[in-house]
Structures are given as structure tokens and as C-alpha cells.
Structure 1
Amino acid sequence: MRKICLLTVLFLGISLQTYGQGRISGLAFGDFYYIASHHNQALRDQNGFWFRRIYFTYDRDLGEQFTTRLRLEMNHPGNFTAGDAIPFVKDAYLQWDFHAQHRFYLGILPAPMFDLIEALWGYRSVEKTPGDLFRLGSPREVGLSFQGSLLETGVVRYHVAFGNNEATRSEGYRGKKLALALQLLPQPWAVEVYGDYGRLREGEQATTWHGLLGYRTPSLRLGAIYEAQEVTIERGRDYTLRYFSVFGSGQVAPRLYVFGRIDRMLEPNPRVGNNPYLPLATTSKATLWIGGVDIAMTPQVRFQPNVELVRYDEEGLDSDVFLRWTFFVTF
């Protein structure tokens, strides 16, 4: 894997020197963390440093209508074991701007579920969006998609995708996933209705939808989302996963921002027990509280001390308390 990464970097360097058309960018974020309390007693007082994400991105124009992107991601294991940051391909797609208002994508590409909420939340360096954290969907898909605007003003936008339903992996089951997001964006408001249908495996399928409302200005972002997923199993018990979330952030000084978020899991979630970096109990409803400050040392360097508190409805489960000093660097 290291040889592959070195060859990739060498190839990109030669391409830039030869053709001069590529653009390299990247980011990195991680934390020093301390677990003050946890429902799993084995994790109490655990602490350390880790990188939760490192991006290395190469974009290149292929003529007037075509562009391509290759993005590698690396991160330390999130299961509290020692391990290296292993790289993998996060994005690899061809973009075709076949119309002034419409684009076509093919490859490993962003999924429609997370476009708007990631922009409104704005603090992926602190925590995933709720749908990603609670595993109602993957932020990547292998397949094809169309994105664009239904009006010249850009107020009404769409994003539709069709793919393997295997995140960044190749096909493992013949079932597929179809997803559609419709957005209404009259500044400063943002409204989104989203839905998808996917076959998870033989005899198991899932339908997901959400409604999202947001408000954003240069100094203030607010949002609320409700999302539900219904899983139907032919030879098993059907189940539903639901949550709602409210969040916000604002500028309080030239280089100082504050942010907060509340997520409410309305059912116990069997998928979150092995969550990287924030493992949750699978037997109880729960409420997640996130709060912190964002200190902009420069436009590219930020420190974001924060606290994550998870309180469970089930008696006998201790709360989870994570104290973190998060750093975020872009280039």
C-alpha cells in the first residue's frame, strides 16, 4: 500500500510538471482526546492522539467540458487499538459538464444524502453528520450521478445517484441504490427533501428519507433535520431507525466561533456499537450533545476544543463523555 501511495504521488508530480494543469489540495484533522466516562468501562480514562482524516486530492481539467478527481484518504484506527493510518481511494471520478446547468459524474463519488447538511453543519472536523454517524447511509457511492440546477438562478437544485450501495467498495450483491435530493435555496434559507431506496442483501431492502431546513449567513449557520429509515426483511423482523438533530454555529469575534449540536436517536440502533472514534450503546435510545469553540489561527489552521456527551435512556448505562482538543489544517 505504501508503494502504491508513493507511485501515486510520483505520478501526480510528473503530471503537474509536464502538463501544468493539475491542482493539488488536502486537509488533515485529528485530536488529543480523553474519555472521562463511557458505558463500556474498558474505555474509561482512555486518551491519546490520532488523525481521524487526512486527504490528498488531485484535480485536473481534461478539456473544456471534462474534469477528473483522485482523492486518497488516510486515518488512524478508530477502535482504540494501535495501528497505522492506512490509505484508500475516497474519490475517483470523471465529471462531464454537458450543459451550463447540469453535470454528469461517473466513478467513486459523493452521495446525495450529505451534500447540504455537511455544508450547513460545517464541522466535519469535529463530528460526522448525524446520518453518517448513525449509519443510515454512506457518504460515498460507486456508480453514476447527475447534479444541477432546474433554474438559471440556481435556487432549485437536484442531485440523483445510482450505484452499488457498497460505499467505496466494488459490487458485493446484485442489489443497487437509487437516491434523489431536491434543494430549494433562496438566500439565506436552505430546504432539502431527500429519499433513497436500496437493496442491502438478498431479501433485505431499505427506504430512507429526510427533511432538512437551514439558515446561513457569513456569520451564522442554523439547521434542523429529521431522518428515518425503514428496513424490510423477508425472513426476519422489520425495523425502523429514526433521529432528529438541531445544530448551529456563529462568529463571536474576528477569529472566534462557537458551535453546538443535539442529536436524538429515537430507537436503539444496532449499527453504532463499532462506530469509529465514538462507539455508542446499541440497546438504548440516546441523546448526543456537542459543544465547542473554533479558533482560527489562520484561514488554514484552526483549533477546535470540544465536548461530546451521550446520555442514554436505559437505566444502568453510564453516559459517554469525550473531551477533545481538535486541530484542523487545510492546504
Structure 2
Amino acid sequence: MKVKQFLIAALAISMSLGAVAQEKAAFTPSGKATGKVFFNYHYDMSDGANQESSFEIKRTYFGYKYQISENFTASVTFDVGKNDGGSDYSAFLKKAQLEWKMSPVVKVSLGMIGLEQFSDQEKFWGYRYIMKSFNDEYGFGPSADLGIKAKFKISDDFFANAFIINGEGYKKVQDDDGKQRFGADLVYHHKGLIAKLYIDANSATVVDGTGNENDVTATAFSAFAGYKFSDHFRIAGEYNKMNNATKYSKVADNHDREGLSFYSTYSFNKKVEIFGRYDYLTSNTLSGETGKWNLAKNGDALTTGIQYAPVKGVKMALNYQAFMHKDVNAKDNSMLFVNFEFKF
């Protein structure tokens, strides 16, 4: 727990340092509303598919951002999408955060905050409306949660983030044990290169098969590197590992998952580009078992397609998505999509 105490101290010190900042008198507060919609039509070519084709709205975001002063910004975002209860269009509070620019090198965010685990990967991938980035897609971490984080500018090329959050994600409240998730990352960004190391940890009391209670610590680790060779071509890869958890919010002793993701884009011009991505997901074998505990969901995923962006705020893509199961008894998925993103 010394690491957690250190992070708490670092956040407290950074907040105290910003208290001496002076605001300029000429600033005029302002704000704007935003919206984003993910819409698609897909055709399922998998053997034995129950639903051959469908139109869907997978996600809709509504938000408002207000610049209170030169150093304070407030923002609220609602995420409208399918929930575990079966409703297709339930609204969740995705973000309700206050950002405080304490100094040129320290910025603190608190409330329901956007997280850093896969933010850089998602931005580099660039096709969130088609498919989530690896950590988000396979449940290695949430995109937002209740808590506090601080971003530090170490140099023109190095940045660090430290955070303490509830750990259950933005769709759930804090669990009964009241234990938090804490972690940090280090990002290097120079010209076309970006590299990132991330780690977090959270603990929970787990009851084993004999009824004994044990404190188990779950961890997540990721390493990411991407390079943009020019305005036309970019390529990236990442490795992700999660220990002692079946999902970021579900601690389970000795249940591990890991995987790789590689993706690349070639842009012909500002409107047309082609892209491809490959994911590999696997899990460990539990003591006394002969097969991997997550075999039903282990496998290889392939996504490839072409995107057309006719005007600013509108994107559309024809793409193919497949998932090849490691379980020989499971049927592979094969789907053709036409995805749209429109925003204001």
C-alpha cells in the first residue's frame, strides 16, 4: 500500500502547488454543446447465424463543456447505449469532471473522469465508431470512473499520469469494500513516435472453494508503441496483461488474461483511407484443469476496411470483422459492416 500512499501524497502536493496560480482579468467564460452518434448496418455471414442483418445505433454521446476561467474547465457527458438489463437506449453519466490547470506542468481532474489506460491507443487506432481499442473491447479497463487524476509534463516529450479511482467503471457505484484502484503511466511523444507504459492495481476479498476469505490484488499492465511515418501511413502495436481478474471490475485469484493488438492505416488523402487490425486474446490454465479457463472467448480477431470522410464531422466505413475461436467446438464469427459516425 506504500505505492497508493505515495500517489495520494503526489496528488495532494500537486493541488497545493496550484493554489498560488493567478488568473488573468480579461478572460471571458464560454461553453459549447457536443454530440456524437455511432450507427451501423451489418450482415452476419457466420454459419448458423440467428440474426442475418440489422441496423443499430451502438452509442450516442451528449455533452457540454464550459471554460469557467483560464485554469478551470467543467464538462459533462452522457453515454446512451445498451445496458446489462437489456434496454437498448439507457443513459449513463460518462463524464462529470472538473479540470484544474494548476501550472504549466500540472493539471488535475476530479469527479467522473476520463481515464488514461487506453486513451492514447484509441486515438492512434482512430476508429472507435467501428471497434473499441483492445483494453476496452475485452474488459481490461474502463474508459471513465469516479476519482481523481493528475497529469504531469516532465519535459516537451515526456508526460506522466497518476490516478486513484473507485475501480468499478462509470456504470457502477463503489462496491461494499470501499477499496480503490490506483495506478500510473508514462508517455513519450516525439515527432511521429509515441510510446507508453501503464500499470494499475486494485484489491478485493475473494472467497475460495473451501470458504476461506483471501485478499487478492488484481493488476493490469500495458505497453504501447506507434509511429506515424507521414500524413499517409501509421502503424502501432500493444501488449496487454491482466492478472487475478476475469474483468477489470471482477477480481478472481489466479485468473489471468493477456493479448496483443496490431493496427495500421494508409491515407490516400484527407477523405479516403484503408485500415487493418489484428487482435490476439488468450488466458491461463488453472491448477488441476486441462484447458484454459477463458477458452470460450479466446481467439484471433481481424478487422479491415476502407473509410470515407466527406465533410468534417462525418465518417463512414465499409469493413469486414471476423473472430476465430480457439475452442474447436465454437463457431467462428464473420460479419460485414457499414459504420457511420456523425458529430457536432
TM-score by length of 1: 0.83
Equivalent position to 1:293, from 306, 313, 316: 306
Moved more, 214-223 or 177-186: 214-223
Deviation at 1:171, TM superposition (A): 1.2
| 1:248-274 CA-partner distances (Å, limit 9, x unpaired) | 1120244211111000012279xxxxx
- Which residue in 1 is equivalent to 2:77? 71
Taking a change above 3 Å as real, the CA distance of residues 325 and 93 of structure 1, as seen in their structure-2 partners, is same
Q: Distance in 1 between matches of 2:192 and 2:305?
A: 24
Structure 2 residue matching 1:298: 3-state secondary structure: coil
1:91 correspondence with 2:95:
yes
Work out the CA distance in 2 between the residues paired with 1:71 and 1:236: 32
How far does residue 46 in structure 1 lie from its aligned partner after superposition? 3.4
- Aligned pairs for 1:263-302 within 5 A: 263-267=279-283, 282-283=295-296, 285-302=298-315
Query: Per the alignment, do residues 121 and 201 of structure 1 end up closer, same or farther by CA in structure 2, a change over 3 Å counting?
Result: farther
The residue aligned with 1:209 is: 221
CA distance in 1, matches of 2:162, 2:98: 16
Structure 1 distance, partners of 2:204, 2:338, is 37
Distance apart, 1:220 and its partner CA:
2.3
Deviation for aligned residue 1:77: 5.8
Per-residue CA distance 1:213-255 (angstroms, 9 max, x = gap):
101243322110001111079x975121000110011202442
1:267-315 Cα deviation digits (max 9, x unpaired): 279xxxxxxxxxxx85253000000111111121111111110111222
In 2: Cα distance, 1:190 partner to 1:107 partner = 28
Q: Matched residue of 1:120: which SS?
A: helix
Deviation of the 1:60 alpha carbon: 0.5
Aligned 8 A contact 2:61 2:77 in 1? yes
Task: Quickly say closer, same or farther: Cα 1:228–1:303, change in 2 above 3 A.
Answer: same
Match of 1:184 in 2: 188
Question: 1:255–1:231: structure 2 CA closer, same or farther, 3 Å change rule?
Answer: same
Query: Secondary structure of 1:289's partner?
Result: strand
Partner in structure 2 of residue 274 of structure 1: none
Structure 1 pair 100–237 and aligned structure 2 pair: CA distance change class (3 A): closer
Partners in 2 of 1:191 and 1:236 — Cα distance? 30
The answer to whether residue 265 in structure 2 is matched with residue 249 in structure 1 is yes
1:315 aligns with 2:319: no
Q: 2:159 aligns with which of 157, 160, 165?
A: 157
Deviation at 1:321, TM superposition (A): 1.0
Contact 1:207 1:231 in 2 (8 A): yes
1:227 aligns to 2:240 (yes or no): yes
| Cα drift, residue 197 of structure 1 | 0.5
Distance 1:314 1:295, change over 3 A: same
User: Aligned partners of 2:128 and 2:318: how far apart in 1?
Assistant: 14
Query: Is 1:204–1:232's contact at 8 Å kept on the other side of the alignment?
Result: no
**Alignment counterpart, residue 199 of structure 1, candidates 179, 186, 203:** 203
Query: How many angstroms apart in 2 are the aligned matches of 1:142 and 1:51?
Result: 26
| SS in structure 2 at match of 1:116 | helix
Counterpart for residue 60 of structure 1: 66
Contact 2:308-2:316 at 8 Å conserved across structures: yes
Any idea what the Cα deviations from partners look like across 1:105-157, whole Å, max 9, x if unmatched? Answer: 11011112012101111110110011111111111121000013111x2x101
Alpha-carbon shift at residue 165 of structure 1 (Å)? 0.3
Q: Secondary structure at 2:124's aligned position in 1?
A: helix
Return the alpha-carbon distance in structure 2 between the equivalents of residues 308 and 254 of structure 1: 24
Secondary structure in 2 matching 1:283:
helix
Alpha-carbon distance in 1 for matches of 2:178, 2:54: 41
Which residue in 2 is equivalent to 1:33?
A: 42
Query: How far apart in 2 are the matches of 1:29 and 1:310?
Result: 21
Shift of 1:78: 8.8
The residue type paired with residue 143 of structure 2 is P
For the residues of structure 2 that align with 1:232 and 1:133, how far apart are their CA atoms?
16
Residue 161 of structure 1, CA deviation: 1.1
Q: Secondary structure at the match of 1:207?
A: strand
- 1:49 matched to 2:85: no
Larger of the two Rg values belongs to structure: 2
Q: Distance in 2 between matches of 1:218 and 1:236?
A: 44
Given that 2:149 and 2:162 are in contact with CA atoms closer than 8 Å, whether structure 1 keeps it comes out as yes
Question: How far, CA to CA, are the matches of 1:61 and 1:25 in structure 2?
Answer: 14
Q: Please give the alpha-carbon distance, in whole angstroms, between the structure 1 residues aligned to 2:51 and 2:257.
A: 31
Aligned residues: 295
Distance 1:31 1:200 in 2: 39
Percent of aligned positions that are identical: 18
